[in-house]
Amino acid sequence: MNTNLEIEYKTLLTQDQFNHLSLDYNEEPVIKQVNFYYQYADVNKAIAARIRQINQTFELTFKIKQAKGRLEVNFEVYGNDANVFDREDVRSFLNENDYTQAFSYLGELTSYRRLIKEVHGDLCIDENHYLGMVDYELEYEVTQDEDAAYARYLELVKKYHLNNEKAKTKYHRFLLCLNHLDVGEK
pLDDT tens figures, 11-66: 999 999 999 999 999 999 999 999 999 999 998 898 999 999 999 999 999 999 99
DSSP assigned state of 168: P
**143 CB-near residues (< 8 Å, 6+ apart):** 120, 121, 122, 149
CA atoms within 13 A on the CB side of 84: 23
Whether 145 has a pLDDT exceeding 50, the answer reads yes
2-178, superfamily in CATH? Hypothetical Protein Pfu-838710-001 (2.40.320.10)
What's the rounded Cα separation, in Å, for the pair 19 and 9?
Answer: 20
pLDDT of residue 181: 67
Across the range 132-145, mean pLDDT stands at 97
Where are the chain's structural domains? Answer: 2-178
pLDDT of residue 180: 83
Whether 184 has a pLDDT exceeding 70, the answer reads no
Strand order across the beta sheet in which 121-130 lies: 2-6, 70-77, 57-65, 47-54, 30-40, 103-117, 121-130, 133-142, 8-13
Whether 4 has a pLDDT exceeding 80, the answer reads yes
List, for residues 62-82, the tens digit of each pLDDT value. 999 999 999 999 999 999 999
Residue 159 parent element (H or E): helix 146-159
